[in-house]
Amino acid sequence: MKVYADNAATTQMSRTAIDAMLPYMERIYGNPSSLYTIGQEAAEALLQARTVMAKYLGCEAREITFTSGGSEADNQALLTGATLGEKKGKKHIISTAIEHHAILHMLKRLEKQGFEITLLDVPENGIISAEQVRNAIREDTCLVTVMYANNEIGTIQPIAEIGVVCKEKGVLFHTDAVQAAGHLPIDVKKENIDMLSLSAHKFHGPKGVGALYVRKGVPLTNLIEGGGQERGKRAGTENVPGIMSMAAAFEETCENMEKNAVKVAALRDKLIAGLARIPHSVLNGDPLQRLPGNVNFCFEGIEGESLLLLLDERGISASSGSACTSGSLEPSHVLLAIGRPHEIAHGSLRLSLSENSTEAEVDYILKAVPEVVDYLRKMSPVWRDLVEGRKEFLL
């Protein structure tokens, strides 16, 4: 059996998304900046796509800028906040310890440029409070950036409450909604969000395309200089097929959001209940305030990469926060931030479902994971030390 359970990494494109891009590769391939018919048809299509994105985010079409994806949108949002702040002599930015690297690495860069960065700590459930943000805001704070939902542990942040605080304090508020868009209802106006990043391939759209919502009146700082595309704020000929496909995927996923969320959350909860029966394991992230498709566990005494390889052998695609899977020597910064010790963080497993997941797949995972964990524990000297009492169990 083949089970794709890594939808937080990327998703399979939907038929709707694939079909939506084809006309813009085959027939309407004109450059939207050209004045002849197939150019203008492409320009018209872009406007439609922008309108669709805006409708489901609760904003105006002109407030949507198309980008190459979530990372670019995140980078541009942070640079924008920093540039605007610097003009007013405000060089303090607030974020959280569990952001995506597209945020954290840009913050590092800004820190080198003289900005002061406050990363809010998260409690074990991974949820910060609006009070934490309120308490961290200073006279010189120019930007608050808090992810909508976490990519590893699925935790959903109180975005609307943080939005209220930022509005009250007059601080620009950005949210990285890459994991949330298309999966959770978002209304940027109601939630007082000034900037929001999203990525098409997390909701069955294509890779290499995303969007940045920016409230009108907030002047964007360019990352890419060149032609006058995207109101002069993002140069480069628009990825018309990708954008059309993203809009179609977004419309489809938003129209079916409630139905999908009910189905996926039920599968998620079954998976969580089943995996929780593995001794000396723990669920990472909040059990309730979490993305419908996210499951993340740590299993004591084993390492995540070998777990992934053995699951792959059984046809299951999943991910882990172990050092070996991150390509660095440190395990996931998110798991460390919620208080998991290094040795526990190395033994993590993330399974992320979508509406294409089935109960049979969940049953298959629930059979495979305990067997693989057991197999790896039996060859683990760490596990032997634990069961023979030379070390104390942490979980």
Partner 1 sequence: MALYSDIVMDHFKNPRNVGVIENADGIGEVGNARCGDIMKIYLKIDNDIVSDVKFETFGCGSAIASSSMATEMIKGKPLSEVLKVTNKAVAEALDGLPAHRLHCSVLAEEAIKAAVQDYYEKNHIDYDRSQFPNCDDCEHCGTCR
Q: So which residues are the catalytic ones?
A: 324
- 86, 161, 343, 363: which one contacts partner 1 (CB under 8 A)? 343
Smallest gap from Cβ 242 to partner 1, in A, equals 27
Residues 6+ apart with CB under 8 A from 319: 6, 8, 9, 308, 325, 349, 350, 352
Contact between 324 and partner 1 by CB under 8 A: the answer reads yes
Going by their DSSP bridges, the two strands 116-120 and 281-283 should be labelled as unpaired
**Is residue 309 a contact residue for partner 1 (CB under 8 A)?**
yes
The answer for residues whose C-beta is within 8 angstroms of residue 146's C-beta and 6 or more apart is: 95, 96, 99, 120, 128, 133, 157, 159, 162, 173, 175
Burial class (CB in 10 A: 0-12, 13-18, 19+), 138: middle
Site for partner 1 in 356-385 (CB under 8 A): 379-384
Question: Of 158 and 331, which CB lies nearer to partner 1 in the complex structure?
Answer: 331
Question: Which range touches partner 1 (CB under 8 A), out of 214-222, 231-239, 278-286, 306-314?
Answer: 306-314
Could you tell me which residues come within 8 angstroms of residue 312 by beta carbon, excluding any fewer than 6 positions away?
none
CA angle 377, 381, 385 (to 5 degrees): 95
Under the binding rule (CB under 8 A), the answer on residue 210 touching partner 1 is no
Tell me how far apart the alpha carbons of residues 61 and 50 are, in angstroms, rounded to a whole number: 5
- The only residue of 306, 332, 352, 354 in contact with partner 1, by rule CB under 8 A: 306
Stretch binding partner 1 (CB under 8 A), from 77-85, 113-121, 156-164, 322-330: 322-330
Q: Is 302 in the site for partner 1 (CB under 8 A)?
A: yes
Q: What secondary structure does DSSP assign to 120-138, as a single string?
A: E---TT----HHHHHHH--
Radius of gyration, alpha carbons of the chain = 22
State in angstroms the smallest separation of the CB of 342 from partner 1.
4
Binding mask of the shown chain, residues 261 to 300, with x at each position contacting partner 1 by CB under 8 A: ----------------------------------------
Residues in the interface with partner 1 (CB under 8 A) total 26
Residue 313 or 371: which CB sits closer to partner 1?
A: 313
Place of tokens 């695609």: 317
Residue ranges binding partner 1 (CB under 8 A): 301-306, 309-310, 313, 322-325, 327, 329, 331, 341-343, 346, 379-384
